Structure 1
């Protein structure tokens, strides 16, 4: 039996749904008769307060995952922040009323959930959620999970460690901005350089970049210094180098990481 108290859960809810593949603006429809998902023993039911859209959501709607996707109709959305309103029998970490956030899909590109986060309620495995930090709003919390997972995994897979230097291409974007902060504050980077447009240079510095490069005026390839890792969050330079280290997290974002670019 699932535990539920103090919350009235409707039988039908509103959700954004698409029943066929195509451009999101064409196929995504707001439905008001979607069933509330049933939770499994290791899941919680979350009343969605905020959800975030990522590039993968648009790619998925266009058929990027069609060979490894759940069947339509599909409620898109990976990232969520909300309130637990029901818990499965095996759930130990959360209780009804807890404010949580997370990415509801453990493997983003292989059969993501049919019922995502662009709905009034969504079902999520306990292990995929964390308590929402009290100093973050629901909207702020919902904006983090997928991009910070991507940023962190990329740094881990490049074997980034204290004392190394890094150049982040696209440092003002969702992923790049988190790479700067993680590299500096968590991984102990000795030097962080990043590229952006002119108007976002101050943002790079506020995030912790030691060197902010205006790509509209400077070519990062002409930099005299050498970097241990180049993290490409733009995806423009993948075919131009023969790196000692190559890694792509998802083709969706065209993320590439290069060690010893200037060796």
Structure 2
């Protein structure tokens, strides 16, 4: 991996010009199209509001494998591309107008700002990646890098959905698929942030106790009960099956 000495960073840190990265240049099954690039080029200059990140952990989301399968060709024409939205890592270089972060800071975030719009070519399945300051936050000290990398996109999805249905204090919600990544965040946000009066959620038999621990008032084992037969009515329904295209 080629490197250059940093001029606006810690002088003891070597700034890479290339990185190892997982990428794909055609659409298809991830196991068929995802390859390891030994020398992917990193842009030589950061924009004023960007930071260069040494990736410690990254996570994959449904959108990543859907992109690989070519489901978003109209929105996502870029090939070849390094996939990955979520990252946790260490700042090794900052742009001239970055104020929130310093070299050495531990950060996490989703490097793509708006869903499928203006997607980055260099994603997070890489040794290094680049993101705008506004898309990142300091990693909480009580979270590992792996834990932090699992949060951003799933949390954003959960929060945005609750905003769209205008959930507010005193309203009830039914979460279909509450034990998954997004579903578990929906439950916690609905309870602790939006102030839902009652939360019902579905899961398989082995995950019912997990729903209770999350704060679900009415856990529903979908292998034994049909939620459509419930006598209760809810102000909002969050259907995770439709969200991820099951």
TM class by smaller structure? over 0.9
Residue in structure 1 matched with residue 100 of structure 2 by the alignment: 93
Q: Does 1:8 align with 2:18?
A: no
Equivalent pair of 1:100/1:131 in contact (CA under 8 Å): yes
**Within 5 Å, which residues of 2 pair with 1:15-26?**
15-26=21-32
Whether contact under 8 Å (1:37, 1:122) holds in the other structure is no
Number of the residue aligned with 1:166: 173
Alignment of 1:201-220 (within 5 A): 201-220=208-227
Q: Which moved more, 1:46-55 or 1:2-11?
A: 2-11
2:107 corresponds to 1:116: no
Matches within 5 A, 1:216-231: 216-231=223-238
In the TM superposition, what are the counterparts of 1:100-249 in structure 2 within 5 Å?
A: 100-235=107-242
Runs of at least 5 residues in structure 2 that lack an aligned partner in the other structure: 1-5
Residue 10 of structure 1 deviates from its aligned partner by: 2.8
Aligned residue number for residue 33 of structure 2: 27
1:70–1:111 contact (8 Å) kept in structure 2 = no
Counterpart-to-counterpart distance in 2, 1:213 and 1:129: 36
CA distance, structure 2, for counterparts of residue 133 and residue 68 of structure 1: 33
Secondary structure of the 1:183 match is: helix
> Do 1:2 and 1:88's aligned partners in 2 also have CA atoms closer than 8 Å?
no
- How many residues align structurally? 239
How far apart, CA to CA, are the structure 2 residues paired with 1:100 and 1:213?
37
- CA distance in structure 2 between the aligned counterparts of 1:156 and 1:146, rounded to whole angstroms: 15
C-alpha displacement of 1:4: 1.5
Task: Flag structure 1 segments of 5+ consecutive residues without an equivalent.
Answer: 236-251, 256-263
Summarize deviations over 1:141-172 as a string: whole Å, max 9, x none.
00010010000011011111001111100000
Partner in structure 1 of residue 244 of structure 2: 253
* Deviation (angstroms), 1:77: 0.2
Distance 1:33 1:49 in 2: 18
TM-score normalised by the chain length of structure 1:
0.87
Tell me the CA shift for residue 111 of structure 1. Answer: 3.1
CA drift at 1:253: 2.0
TM-score (ref. length: structure 2): 0.93
